[in-house]
Amino acid sequence: MNLGKLYKVKKYFWLMFPTKQTATAAAATTAAHAASLAPFADALTPAAASYFSPDSYIVSLEEDGVYKNVLTSDGKIGWTWFIESYNDCFEEVEREEP
């Protein structure tokens, strides 16, 4: 994912956190407990988290390793994480020339 480019979300709902620190803590918790917490994922979503969904659009504003600061098509800004194997979940949108 390239900074400043517009992407359409093709797959999955993505959690978004207000700060990189909360995204980092959530990623660590999720990785450590993914198998045991999977059946309860909806109930454990932190209240401070929001999400973006398939068929929405995002712009990557900043990145730090697997953490990305994004702006969503509905005006939310926050941090999420993903590894390169999830690149197929996003499709770069080509701008049409006027």
This prediction has a pTM of 0.75
Q: How many helices (H) and strands (E) are present in the chain, helices listed first? A: 2, 7
Check whether 80 has a pLDDT greater than 80.
yes
51: nearest Cα among 25, 89, 80, 20: 80
Q: What is the pLDDT of residues 31-74, one digit of tens each?
A: 554 455 444 454 445 556 889 999 999 999 999 998 999 999 99
Compute the chain's Rg from CA coordinates.
Answer: 14
User: Band of the pLDDT at 22, cuts 50, 70, 90?
Assistant: confident
Q: Spell out the domain ranges in the chain.
A: 6-92
Name the residue among 19, 13, 46, 50 with its Cα closest to residue 30. Answer: 46
According to DSSP, residue 17 is labeled B
